[in-house]
């Protein structure tokens, strides 16, 4: 089964791409999207979700995909779900600052401490960073993404989304 990273079209409203991993599970291009959903302003932060999906390229939001490799059919979705359930998702990283009357990144949540104006800040981790910096490396390290065209594998096509 192939694995690809897929991204929505850049002209859609919103300041950033949403990046996820798509595993093609059927001959018609359908599969499962593995992604972080939610936002970094909610107290729960973002959550890992798995969603059945038609072929991503059929969606008007689709922009691009990059083949990551393949995964063995016998390991998806069960081993993927177990593995990705252990990858920490982006936590809450922004809150409403009553001093500035704006939603801003914070330094610490408890006690709630905001950054000083102009001071150094940690980068915000959202779905794209979670997928590229945590998920894909974890899947590769656990042998769940096998790089290459998969000609010898009875597997799933993987794509980032």
Range of the domain at 75: 1-90+126-149
pLDDT (tens digit per residue) in 24-38: 999 899 999 999 999
Residue 155 lies in a domain: no
Whether residue 134 sits in one domain with residue 103: no
Indicate if the alpha-carbon torsion angle 67, 68, 70, 76 is positive or negative. negative
Whether residue 78 sits in one domain with residue 20: yes
Judged against a pLDDT cut of 90, whether residue 66 lies above it is answered with no
pTM score above 0.75: yes
Residue 159 lies in a domain: no
Whether residue 86 sits in one domain with residue 96: no
Judged against a pLDDT cut of 60, whether residue 148 lies above it is answered with yes
Residue 161 lies in a domain: no
Tell me if 22 sits within 8 A of 158, measured CB to CB: yes
Residue 57 lies in a domain: yes
Tell me if 24 sits within 8 A of 55, measured CB to CB: yes
Looking at every residue in the chain, the average pLDDT score rounds to 87
pLDDT (tens digit per residue) in 84-139: 999 999 999 999 999 999 999 999 999 999 999 989 999 999 999 999 999 999 99
Indicate if the alpha-carbon torsion angle 71, 78, 86, 35 is positive or negative. positive
End-to-end CA gap in the chain: 16
Whether residue 69 sits in one domain with residue 46: yes
Tell me if 90 sits within 8 A of 35, measured CB to CB: no
Whether residue 145 sits in one domain with residue 117: no
């Amino acid at each position: 089964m192939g694995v690809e990273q897929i991204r929505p079209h850049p002209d859609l409203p919103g300041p950033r791409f949403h990046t996820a991993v798509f595993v093609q599970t059927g001959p018609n291009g359908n599969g499962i999207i593995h992604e972080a959903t939610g936002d970094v302003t909610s107290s729960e932060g973002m959550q890992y979700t798995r969603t059945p999906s038609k072929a991503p390229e059929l969606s008007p939001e689709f922009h691009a995909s990059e083949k990551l490799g393949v995964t063995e059919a016998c390991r998806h979705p069960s081993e993927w779900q177990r593995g990705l359930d252990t990858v920490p998702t982006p936590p809450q990283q922004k809150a409403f600052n009553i001093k500035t009357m704006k939603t801003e990144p914070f330094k610490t949540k408890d006690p709630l401490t905001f950054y000083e104006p102009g001071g150094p800040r940690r980068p915000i981790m959202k779905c794209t960073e979670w997928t590229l910096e945590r998920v894909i490396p974890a899947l590769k390290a656990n042998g769940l993404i096998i790089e290459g065209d998969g000609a010898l594998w009875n597997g799933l096509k993987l794509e980032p989304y």
